[in-house]
Structure 1
Amino acid sequence: MTLVASASMGLESVVKDECVDLGFENVTTFNGRVEFEGAAKEIVAANIHLRCADRVYIKMAEFKALTFEDLFQNIKKIAWEEIIPINGEFPVSWVSSVKSKLFSKSDIQKIVKKAMVERLKNSYNIDVFPEDGPVYKIKIQAHNDIFIIMLDTSGEALHKRGYRNLINEAPLKETMAAALVKLSRWKGGELPLIDPMCGTGTIAIEAAMIARNVAPGVNRNFVSEGWDIIPSDLWIDVRDEAFSAEDYDKEVTIFASDLDEETIEIAKLNAKKAGVDEDITFSCQNFLHLETDAPKGAIITNPPYGDRLLDDDAVERLYGLMGDIFRMRFPKWSYYVITAFEKFEDAFGKKATKNRKLYNGGIKCYYYQYYGAK
């Protein structure tokens, strides 16, 4: 099968690297998604191991459709019965249409559902489907009249690892936090990591999970665990392999702090639930008091910015102080900062080694990367 790992804009190459590292074959990158080939085992492995993808899908078809009749006939051609059982629930749950002649989402939903029912009627020789069994959600993406038809194997989005109980008012998705750490190339060992504005601890927790090689989906469930096409023992085997691969011998030093005491308490609870509380030292302090004896390391942080918590003047003052403190007290460290504030480099007082456009919760951001001493 062709499988699809969807990704936030800007993270496609990170997800591609993850897929290659997992040994997936024929990995190809497109806007907002990474495609690869696989069978049941790859569906399971992708859901359990991918840190930066949003969801994992089975790609059922890709075709051009200019009329609703084109759409109906192409959907009807798909061998739905090979995956969806007679009692399967198959909602057309998500439709997107951009620059296409067929633009009415509700009409696309109705036509797709009707065509699926016609196909399954012929396969199962019944007229009414109970839809009281396992769930098979269909996602439709149309762009320039090209339709991609997918089945969601994940259910809840992959960023829902299961460790985050409460969220502060401007959360960073777990998948994005993991990507920030991946892009920094920090993997633990002798180099410490600091997040001086940690909120509920997502960056620190994802960093600890990466350093310890804890699979992000190992402790949660997926909608496709109830599907007949995936043997149940496969989920057990892949989880067992993931647990066996965890590394608790490596040195891991992570410091995370925030101004708000209640937020820090939530961060501690989250870290404990994720099983990495012993790797992270949390403290309630102003980043102005940030200090370290370590000569080198990485600072990765998601500070407040304009659309999020502070006005522009306050943001400029904050970033100016950040630049001064980082350069004076951490001269050989690397710094990684994600923000939507486009004048960040001016306020920070230094041009980044490189920056990358990312979308955090639909907000256009840049990830400013300052490389320290090698």
Structure 2
Amino acid sequence: MLFNQFNFAGFNTTNRIVMAPMTRSRTSQPGDIPNDMMATYYKQRATAGLIITEGAPISTVARGYSMTPGIYSQEQIEGWKKTTQAVHEVGGKIFIQLWHVGRRSHETIAGEPIVSASAIKEADQVFGPLPEGGFGMIETSVPRAMSIDDIQNTIQDFVQAARNAMQAGFDGIEIHGAHGYLLDQFMHIASNQRDDMYGGSQENRMRFLVETVQAIVDEIGGDRVTIRLSPHVTEGYAQEDPELIELTLKTLQKLAPMNLAYVHFSENIANYVEASEQFRQQVRRIYPNPIMVAGKLNKEIAQDLLAKNYADLVAFGTPFVTNPDFVSRLEKNIGLAEFDADARLTLYGGDEKGYTDYPAAG
């Protein structure tokens, strides 16, 4: 099933293998502009049924990692056109991941005070400018609580970013609602201590996410819109949220009528618990539309998820870093180049080394 086509309501892929979003911080400066090197990187991996780009901040305050490619300026739109054209030239399909990190940032990266559901900081580090020069991991700042106007303006920032993505030639967009970033911060009890319409009850805590998705669907159509969720991952939090699984299932019920291209579950990274069979069965009962699963998958696990109808698409991350021809290697049972210590050193920032210089299998 891995190598079969997939079709749903205007969304289609040539196979079920997806390149998952991975931050690589290779933009041209100043301005966080996507460049030729990035276009080459994505083109090399375009045999995936779908590529999801690294997270692209929707505004300056949305930024949380230095040198990540934005989607809020005309220069960035023009830069991204190089990537979409390169991928389309070889028959690939590419979605951009729209990103607002919320409190997982620092003023020196965002250029202004960072924001979240509430003014609550969690111990956390992000990739940013070091006091002594250069870049490395730095501790995040204390956020300010967003006002209602801030929330509405941010929804419009997401909508504008989706418009920009269409102008840049993307086939669709994925909203990052996972991993402790802004929309996820509104979902969690620990990070959302609001007493207005965006806090307190489960209905209120999912409101920002649901309104954002609906606004983008209204703008560009459900078949071009997706969202990433991580209910089993506690990245960005000190402990698990006792209500998050239930809240996620209720959110899926709200999303189902929008007929999204897929909902993407990110699993098995950072601090996590494994998704249970019961959860996967619950998801299928209440959410009839496409599901994508990512998180330390191998060929056998991916095939099993598809065979059991727990997923329609399966996403792989780090294997694509060192294996630009990952799909071919998987299909022909060719061994993979390892994602080793050297690969980790070149994951963020730098040049072509550890980025576009990995060879295809001979």
TM-score by length of 2: 0.29
Point out the structure with the larger strand share.
1
TM score, norm. by length of structure 1: 0.28
